[in-house]
Structures are given as structure tokens and as C-alpha cells.
A and B are shown apart, each in its own frame.
Chain A
């Protein structure tokens, strides 16, 4: 199949000449979108042109590295699916496919379609953990956790940290990401001990990094490749209120 790629090119963070460039490509409908980009890059290299930088690693939807806005939608046309799991058969013959990087101030562009998401790690280091030393744990079955509770915690723990939620939000809010971790740990008995300190510090860090607040657009939930629900944000707000009134 023949498609036209329209790809954001940017040579470093402050590139004044950044902009879209068009590339025609003869692809196979069974290729993944990233394989089509591999093919395009191979052609560009053969022609002595500069290939397109994009982020990817596991290519099976779990590492969270891939991060393309495809035709205006983070991770592209298929719901609950990462960029790397999109195949060319999702597009029409002759279609123009627009590829852009995540766009959000806290995620500066490094090159072309690659952005810097280290703000997420800094938020996680502000409390996205349970303080337990190796060697200090009680027997794993010492604290029974009801299956529904465990499953609910899991739904939030499934976050892959890709940042699509931020890219989709008009406010560049990271509340779904932060809420997912806060909810995962607040639901489980192991995480409850530090819940007050955790939520305050993570939210403070989120604000310092320049992420916006939530105004209930719901775009984050719609693009989340792991279907993390807006409940994460509700739980985050509840934890914040709780932290304001309850002392641990």
C-alpha cells in the first residue's frame, strides 16, 4: 500500500526551523507502523538523508517507550493500544499519516519525535514507592488481600508511564499518571502507611515540573493504552483531601 507520511522534524530543543516534512512510502499492510518507519528510515539512509528519530523498544506494548501522536491522537487510531501495536492495515490506501511528538511543556522535544519524559521519574522518586528494605518483609501471605481489592489495585498499577495522558490533555496534566500510582498504593494495605506523605509530595513535584491541573476533559482516559480510568484522578483528589484533614 502507498501512504504519505507527514512527520515533525526538529533538530534539538531550540530548532527554529522545526516543522513538518512529507515522505511518500510504499508499505505492506501487515507491517506495524514502526516497521513502516524503519523502512522509511532505511530509504532515507540509502539516499544519504537524515533519518527520523523516534522512541521504541519492546514493540509489544508494555515498555512505554513508543510515543507518537498519530493523526492528532496519542498512540493513534486504536483504543487501548500503544503506537508500536498499530499496523498499516489501520490506514487507508493513499492516506496521509501525520506523526508528531508528545506536545507538552514538561516534555521538551529532544529530536524529531523523541521527547524528554524524565519529569515522570522525578515524580515517582517523590514518593511513588513503599518504604521496605530488602530482607524486612513479613511472609507474603501474612496479610490477606481480597481478590477484588487486589484486582482494583492492579488496574491502576498497569500504567506503563508512556505519557500519552499528558500529551492528550489540553492542560498537559499528569493527574492520571500520578493518580494511578497514588491509587495503586493507597488501595493496598502495604501502601496505606505512607499515603499522606506520598500524595502531598507527588502532587507538589508534579506542579513543580510544570504539569497542569485536571479540568475533566477525559482525553487522558480515552488515549490510555492500558485503559486506566478517570477514577484514578478522583482517588487522587480524595487522597489529597484526606491528607489535609487526617494525620497518620
Chain B
């Protein structure tokens, strides 16, 4: 596998400009001769499909939801970063670049991250022009807030619904191109496989989720924007349908998978209530600005009314362990600290599988200091949301929170042009591995999805088409029939599963294995254990699962079974990656690589690289390749929040 990142030469600040000049262009009259398939309609997919169509390409766009507007980007709450420096507080493209590289624990490419910071300013301009109602000051100018521990206010936000408003902006751009006849939209279509001919991505196979039709689509390039794989843990803040299938199928067709073990755990989510729980809900990180995190000092106090626990018996563990950052330490640090106190038996909240996994986020002090009105003004809608789910008012009792899987930094490997190791297959947004390294900063996911879709792929895809394109092909090519046949066989095989166990049960089991051994803290022994348990579970899946219904109808259980079957293979790859990465970095915390205070220890000598996995067939282990990361502009330092 060749891993040429194609990073342009020249000084960091000039790379993207130079590259844009050097990229080949497609003659305007020729653009309509190219047909591009865009898979997924979140921020990356909708913005890519819209801007490619604006340029004149013909676009086929697919999503699994009933409408492109429902992709999971819609659920992002906090905001979107941009180096506008509207606050005059010292922000710059360089600072956003540096914060993102450092936040990612020096495991991302300098050139990509710098470009992201450069483009960030254009995104805000474009979204405002679309009618996205960002928060404004009384003077009518855009408001910003500081977010996720950043020392400058560079986050643009739209109430607690930034993702929704940005996605509706991208969706409206997409619908405009549908109106113009340049995008053919196919909702309720799931990509089942990629068609590769002579080493190039030349199309895909989908299943129509309403009537079950499996069919092929030829394309001059495929743009994959199918999001992250957090649902491998079963419980996550992802939407229920979020899955790894499209990306994993591409991996099986030869696309390298980058850093699969890099997952982000968000510290402030509503804890699991019972075994029946179907998903976890995030509570915005901004709550940590005024809430104090604590647990009882003594074990066994999980059921005691927190109001009756005197101050001296409360363990404000973040404030004690990290006196300078306190409750505002980064996501990964806050998450691990919560896990530690709960594992030590100090957790509160409902007991699930023998442990109380929650800590208090207490607004009592802030309410006393600032008054209930001030707190309501800041967090009223979040408190309401919390009360709706838990039936407890955070004005009267502390919130209970616990970390949950939230985002996956790993994804298909791409070069600077966002192209995977399969020519013609481009990967955007959360589905690629590119910009966040080992840990993503708050408000950076929306930025990356839109940067890729609005402002990177329109340039780089044209270059690919102008320089490497291999002529027309249609679905009469025998390879389409062959791949379609494989998809039909697989669907048939899933439908023949007439065991006793609902797929949900088996998915939960996988989730337990992943959470216990490849979650917030990992160690070689646990990972090896998981590598034994997953194949055994996979074998049981194909024996015990029950998949009701038929193939030629709307069948959500068949869809879920296919996705879980892929998670059962992919989970193993994640564990292997976590085992081989013999260091701690960002969201990947290895218990065997920590200081005596429990802080992560990176190993830049051996692991300053991206790990890229190449599929070798079902009967042979995947091979690990390495893309070394060169840091020419920043100095590798140790993150410290003491």
C-alpha cells in the first residue's frame, strides 16, 4: 500500500494557495460529462454534493434517512470554530492551527490542519449568506463564545442547535441543486459496496430501503461522507442508524483505514439508566463553566441524597487534581477522571451491571452566587432537556453525568486531496481520519465537515478528473454484476438467520466488550481479551441472530443486522490498532503508558505516525502501514493541565 500524502511543497502558509494553482482544472463545458456519486448528506456530504453541482458536475446523492436533512450532523450542539478574530482577543489562523494540532496530541498532519484553519473563515461567511441564524450581539454583529477550554472566543453558535442550523443551510444548498436538476437525490438508499475496476473506484451498489431493490450506480468518482463509527460501542451519542458499513466496505475493497482506535469520549452525558437504554444524550460542555464536578469521598454513598452530604465529605476531584484548570480540563482528561472515581466505587446514580457510573455536576454554588435567573439564562434550555429525560430539576439537585462515546477521529486514510488509497474514492468529514489527530477539540467537527465539502473537494476532485480519469464506464461492466451478486448473497445470508436472539442483544454484547476493553482506558491484557471475545461473538452472531421479515420490503432489522455484522469485524480492527499503538495519546489512553499521577505518556520516538490498516482477506490479519508525521512548524510538547 502506497501512502503518499501529497503534501504540497513550500512554507506552511503558502501550501494551499500554491496547490490550488497547481491543481488541474476541468473545462466548464466538460464538467457536465462527469457523474459524481456522493454518499451521505451530513455537513460534509450535503455541502460537497451542493458545491460540486454548482460547478456543473452531475451528482447522484444517497442517504439512508428518509430525508437528507436528518443526517446526524443535525444533533451537534455547541458551535463551529473559525479564526475570524472578531473579538480582537488575539486569535489568528496560526493560533487555531496550533490549538488543533496540540489538542490532537500531535497526531495529525500539519498541512491539513493549517488548511482547515485557513478555510474556517470562509465557512462562516458562506453560512451567514445562506441564512444561518447565528447568535448576534445587540449591535447586529456576530457573537462568539469561548468553548472547550479555548483561551480565545472563536466559536460561532446558533443557540444549542448549531449543527441543525448549519445542516439546514447545507441541505438548502443541496435542494437548490436538486431544483436545478444537477443533483439526483436518493434518500432511503444504503450503500452496500464499492465497485472497483482496474484499481479505480467506479461506482457503488445500494439497497433501496423501501422496496429492497439492490442496484448499481456507475460514477466517475465516489465521494464518501458517511460519518463516524461510534455505534460500535452500542451506547453512544450517535444516532441509531449511524454505522461503519460504507466505510468498512471500502476498506475491504482496498482503502486503507487510518487510526481506527482514535475515539472521543465526551465527559458530560446523561448516564445510563438501565440495561434497556438505547442511546446516550450529550449535555453541552459549556455546563462545566459554572458546574462543579464531585462525588462522595466515601464509597457506598451512591444512594444518599446529595444535599445531605456535607462539604467536607465531597470530593471535587477535578479541582483537587488539576488546580489550575479545575472543572475545565479537556474532554479526555475529564472523562478519564470520572471513570476513575466510579471504578474506585465512588460513583453515584443508578446501578447498572453492579456499578454506579455517574458523578455530580453541581450548580448549587453558582446559583447561590449568581442567582437562579442568571443560571437559567445561561443554561435554561439544557436544564429543561435534562429534566425532560431524567425527571430531576438541576435547579434543585445536582445533575448526574458520565462520559459517553461521541466522535471517532479515525477513519479512511486520505491524502491532502482527500482521496483514499483507492483512486477515485474521496472521503470527507468524520468518515476520514485527517484533521483531528488523536483528540478533537470542541466545535471543530462542524468546521471540518464543511471545509471538506464546500472548499476542498470542489478543487481537488476536479484535479483528479482532469489528470487521472480513465474514460467512461457504465453498469453493464461485469464487475457491477459481480459486486451486486455479492451484496445479494450477503443479504440472503442475513435473512436466513432464524436464531432466537434479536440483533440488538448481540450489538449490546459487542458494546460491552468494546467499552470495557477499548473504551476510555485500555491495556494490553484487556485488548487481547477483547481480540478473543469479538471473533467468538461474531461466530455466535451468525448462529444465534434472528433477522425477521423479507428482503423486498422496508426491513429495519435487516439493515441493522448488516451494520452490526460489519461492526463485529471492525471492532476487532479497532482493538488491534489500540494494542499496536503502544503509547497513550489524546483519546487513546493506555494504562501501561501513564505518569504516576495518571497522565498520558506519548511516545514520539516510536509512534509519531498515522497507522493505516490494509485488508488482506477474511482469513488473514490486516497489515499495519505507517505514514510518518513530520512537524516542521510546531514543537512537540506535552499537554499539561495541572
Contacts and interface: CB of A to CB of B under 8 A. Distances in A.
Contact of A118 (B67, B159, B240, B548): B67
Contact of A63 (B51, B70, B122): B70
A63 to B, nearest CB: 4
Given A57-B72, A120-B67, A144-B141, A131 B176 contact: yes
A215 interface: no
B239 A59 contact: yes
B133 A132 contact: no
A130 B504 CA distance: 42
A41 B68 CA distance: 27
Q: Is the interface of A mostly helix, strand, loop or mixed?
A: loop
Nearest to B554: A111
Contacts of A60: 75, 279, 281-282
Interface residues of B, number: 80
Contacts of B74: 58, 62-63
A157 B65 contact: no
B274 interface: yes
Contacts, number: 216
A45 to B, nearest CB: 4
A121 interface: yes
A147 B159 CA distance: 13
Nearest to A64: B70
A38 B128 contact: no
Given A50-B548, A63-B70, A139-B125, A145 B140 contact: yes
Interface stretch (B167-175, B323-331, B517-525, B634-642): B167-175
Interface in B23-72: 47, 50-51, 54, 65-70, 72
A20 interface: no
B549 interface: yes
A116 B276 CA distance: 29
B557 interface: yes
Interface residues of A, number: 80
B274 A28 contact: yes
A140 B354 CA distance: 52
B65 A57 contact: yes
B179 interface: yes
Interface in A109-161: 110-111, 114, 116-118, 120-121, 124-141, 143-147, 150-151, 153-154, 157-158, 160-161
A145 B273 contact: no
A129 B130 contact: yes
B455 interface: yes
Contacts of A87: 389, 391
A39 interface: yes
B136 A145 contact: yes
Most buried by B among A81, A126, A132, A146: A132
Contacts of B165: 154, 157
A134 B46 CA distance: 12
A55 interface: yes
B83 interface: no
A116 B187 CA distance: 11
Nearest to A184: B131
A65 interface: yes
Most buried by B among A11, A49, A134, A146: A134
A166 B254 CA distance: 47
B142 interface: yes
Interface stretch (A29-37, A167-175, A229-237): A29-37
B492 interface: no
B210 interface: yes
A47 to B, nearest CB: 10
A38 B239 contact: no
Nearest to A150: B136
A190 B128 contact: yes
Nearest to B50: A134
A46 interface: yes
Contacts of A65: 65-66, 70
B157 to A, nearest CB: 11
Interface in B72-97: 72, 74-75, 84, 86
B108 interface: no
A56 interface: yes
Interface string B497-520: 000111011000000000000000
A12 interface: yes
A188 B131 contact: yes
A46 B502 contact: yes
Contacts of B128: 137, 140, 143, 190
B278 A35 contact: yes
Most buried by A among B128, B159, B455: B128
B226 to A, nearest CB: 14
Contact of A57 (B54, B240, B391, B454): B240
B370 interface: no
B388 to A, nearest CB: 6
Contact of B69 (A78, A135, A144, A161): A161
Contacts of A146: 136, 138, 140
Contacts of A132: 126, 129-130, 173
B554 A53 contact: yes
B185 interface: yes
Contacts of A141: 86, 141-142
28 contacts: A38-B276, A46-B502, A46-B546, A50-B548, A56-B240, A60-B279, A64-B70, A65-B66, A121-B69, A121-B185, A124-B69, A124-B172, A125-B176, A129-B176, A129-B179, A132-B126, A132-B173, A134-B51, A134-B54, A134-B173, A137-B128, A140-B134, A147-B140, A157-B168, A184-B131, A185-B131, A188-B131, A191-B131
Given A64-B67, A134-B54, 20 more contacts: A28-B276, A41-B502, A51-B548, A58-B239, A58-B240, A60-B279, A60-B282, A62-B74, A63-B65, A63-B70, A111-B553, A129-B130, A129-B179, A134-B173, A136-B129, A137-B122, A157-B165, A158-B161, A190-B128, A190-B131
Q: Which 8 A-B pairs have the closest CB atoms?
A: A144-B140, A137-B129, A129-B172, A137-B125, A154-B133, A125-B175, A140-B128, A129-B176
